[in-house]
Amino acid sequence: MVRDEKVQIHALICYYNDYSTLSVAVNSIENSVDTIVAADGAYELYFENLKKANPAAKPWSTDGSTEILKAIPSIKDKLKIIECPDGKPWVNQCVKRTALLDAIPQGDWVVVLDSDEMFYGDVEMGLNDIMRSGCLAGNMPLYNPGLDIGAMVPYWHPRVFLKLDGMH
């Protein structure tokens, strides 16, 4: 990737019991970023509803998602996992994403990707174009395959940001 070597690119990934799609998400971005910061755990409202159906549920992943992340050899040296705060569910998605943002330095670039999403196309070229554009944010072609790969629909969402002071 041709870019200022002082500027880092960090992938921020939220997950919770997503073993079936997590490796696809990571694979779509792993060669284009310097670090991958992943936050595990459910949000309070989701977890409350889940506990009604499954009283034994935990607020952290119990399906092997974290172990899958740790077992991907190509990201071993660039992976940081943030666990549920105090073993409790995250208050909401904003709090969880803010914890991810707080884990990286100001002035670096952020790529936001959920565990059931994947970037496609020439990701490195897209990131370079966004960083050179003079803009503070940009979008990338994104698929959300979920569990039905036959129903994949391409999306364009702002998912690349320059982290600035006060961003949360």
pTM (2 d.p.): 0.88
Query: Mean pLDDT over residues 66-77, rounded?
Result: 94
3-21 per-position pLDDT tens digit: 556 789 999 999 999 998 8
pLDDT value of position 165: 85
Q: Is the four-CA dihedral 40, 45, 48, 52 of positive or negative sign?
A: negative
17-59 per-position pLDDT tens digit: 999 889 989 999 999 999 999 999 999 999 999 999 999 999 9
pLDDT value of position 159: 84
Show contacts of 135-138: CB within 8 Å, 24+ apart. Answer: 136/161, 136/162, 136/164, 137/161, 137/162
Per the prediction, the chain carries an average pLDDT of 88
How many Cα neighbours within 13 Å face the side chain of 147? 4
